């Protein structure tokens, strides 16, 4: 093959659309009462329906439909109030019926869009062709035995929505931004946990190239089952360069389905690409048409929460927060609920935000828990913040002593516990003055250095005074007192 160069690459543009499979977080499967929970022993969550035994009939889970509609509304889609289920026929060991129940010609949602913000600040609109409902297949296990493959049907019948974008994506960055935003939305709407590692959100990428300025689409290849945003970027970059190199050498791209090797960062053919007629779609005779009433649709619209971008802008407008901080809060629904619960009890809203997106968020990340698992209540945290802002306790004492004590005794009164722990700042100027005198006497050499312009030693003096005061002093007050003594 010929050598690929930057000039060669710049002659082509990437054209891509994504097929995003989102596993809905309902308690039961889409057409049966089997549990849809992740992590059970193999073939524990099965029944005659998921095993496709003769005479077993599907019954639609209403919550699945509600979650699909919410996702459609969040992606600016038209909701088809009459839609149908179809059978997609193909044989695979982990597909017990020999067909998958899905939606073909008339899906539940169509013609939407999602806007994403790129690293350069550009806003890119990516069209959403459709969202359709379908059931998941089971799972084949090829690494359990040297001679045999095993089949686990726990996942068979788990509810999915498939979100199909238009071929509007022109870079791996755009694909990454789209998936990131999509994961935020499914979590915010409580449609799915969006966990790509567990397969709750996974993606197939259709990738083609065409000369810059061309309008006709090239031959596409589909990279299957990408399970991380990083792998989507890597697969897209590799496949773009592979196709450019192939065409540059006089070859032709063959429409095919590809596997991505995450260890090597390369794609390889799985099979030639199936066409729609290969699946012999036809309406499922066991499921009646799905009719969504005006009343129910209006109820779901009324229940739709504000989306993160709207919330963050409102936080900026209402409280003067900067957009970065507001976005961190808006994108975590549980943290936002905690903020709102503490808001009425805290004196300074900006302090509450700083604590939540700063030390509290760091603590949660370190423990790998959500704010819902934090023992300190919103009202208690608000009281701690108020004590700190009122200079009655230092932030260090609050973080290192008071909050851990509150976690151990969550019903305790905050001020009473602060007094019990002897954490209240003492405003005894004479005592602080004595501490400052002792520290400056102890560090005569550093005092001389300070007076010659070495201002960095000021922190040493303040730190030593704070130690002598056992943390029960206002650092700013100590700082001012030390500078006063030195002058």
Cβ atoms of 10 and 212 closer than 8 Å: yes
Res 393: pLDDT: 87
Per residue in 52-65, pLDDT (tens digit) is: 899 999 999 999 99
Per residue in 193-244, pLDDT (tens digit) is: 888 888 889 999 999 999 999 999 999 999 998 989 999 999 999 999 999 9
Q: How far apart (Å, rounded) are the C-alpha atoms in residues 313 and 253? A: 45
Per residue in 235-290, pLDDT (tens digit) is: 999 999 999 999 999 999 999 899 999 889 999 888 665 555 688 999 999 999 99
Cβ atoms of 345 and 339 closer than 8 Å: no
Containing 242, the helix (H) or strand (E) segment is helix 229-248
The pTM is what?
Answer: 0.77
Q: Hey, where are the domains in the chain?
A: 6-295, 306-420, 429-486
Res 472: pLDDT: 65
Nearest to 113 by CA among 137, 64, 77, 149: 77
pLDDT higher than 70, residue 428? no
Assigned architecture for domain 429-486: Orthogonal Bundle (1.10)
Cβ atoms of 404 and 437 closer than 8 Å: no
pLDDT higher than 80, residue 181? yes
Cβ atoms of 172 and 60 closer than 8 Å: no
Is 27 strand, coil or helix? coil
């Amino acid at each position: 093959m010929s050598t690929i160069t930057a000039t060669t690459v710049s002659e082509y543009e990437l054209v891509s659309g994504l097929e995003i499979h989102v596993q809905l977080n309902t308690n039961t499967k889409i057409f049966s009462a089997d549990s849809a929970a992740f992590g059970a022993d193999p073939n524990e969550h099965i029944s005659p329906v998921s095993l496709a035994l003769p005479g077993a009939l599907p019954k639609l889970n209403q919550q699945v439909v509600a979650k699909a509609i919410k996702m459609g509304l969040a992606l600016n889609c038209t909701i088809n109030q009459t839609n149908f289920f179809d059978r997609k026929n193909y044989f695979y060991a982990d597909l017990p019926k020999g067909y998958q129940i899905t939606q073909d010609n008339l899906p539940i949602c169509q013609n939407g869009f999602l806007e994403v913000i790129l690293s350069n600040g550009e806003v890119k609109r990516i069209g959403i062709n459709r969202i359709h409902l379908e059931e998941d297949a089971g799972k084949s296990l090829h690494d359990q035995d040297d001679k045999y493959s095993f089949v686990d049907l726990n996942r068979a019948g788990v509810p999915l929505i498939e979100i199909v974008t238009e071929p509007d994506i022109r870079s791996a960055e755009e694909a990454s931004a789209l998936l990131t935003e999509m994961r935020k939305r499914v979590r915010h709407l409580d449609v799915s946990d969006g966990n790509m590692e567990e397969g709750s959100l996974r993606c197939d990428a259709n990738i083609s190239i065409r000369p810059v300025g061309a309008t006709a689409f090239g031959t596409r290849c589909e990279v299957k089952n990408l399970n991380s945003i990083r792998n989507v970027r890597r697969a897209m970059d590799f496949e773009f360069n592979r196709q450019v190199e192939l065409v540059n050498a006089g070859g032709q791209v063959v429409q095919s389905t590809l596997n991505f090797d995450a260890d090597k960062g390369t794609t390889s053919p799985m099979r030639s690409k199936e066409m729609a007629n290969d699946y012999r779609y036809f309406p499922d005779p066991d499921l009646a048409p799905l009719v969504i009433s005006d009343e129910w649709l209006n109820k779901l619209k009324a229940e739709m929460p504000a989306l993160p971008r709207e919330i963050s802008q409102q936080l900026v407008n209402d409280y003067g927060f900067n957009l970065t901080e507001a976005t961190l809060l808006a994108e975590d629904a549980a943290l936002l609920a905690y903020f709102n619960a503490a808001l009425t009890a805290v004196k300074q809203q900006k302090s509450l935000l700083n604590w939540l997106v700063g030390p509290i968020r760091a603590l949660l990340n370190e423990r790998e828990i959500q704010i819902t698992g934090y023992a300190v209540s919103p009202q208690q945290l608000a009281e701690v913040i108020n004590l700190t802002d009122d200079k009655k306790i230092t932030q260090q004492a609050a973080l290192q002593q008071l909050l851990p004590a509150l976690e151990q005794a969550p019903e305790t009164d905050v001020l009473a516990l602060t007094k019990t722990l002897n954490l209240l700042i003492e405003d005894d100027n004479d005592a602080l003055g004595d501490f400052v005198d002792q520290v400056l006497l102890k560090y005569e050499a550093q005092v001389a250095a300070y007076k010659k312009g070495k201002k960095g030693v000021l922190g040493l003096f303040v730190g030593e005074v704070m130690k002598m005061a056992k943390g029960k002093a206002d650092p700013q007050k100590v700082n001012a007192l030390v500078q006063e003594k030195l002058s």
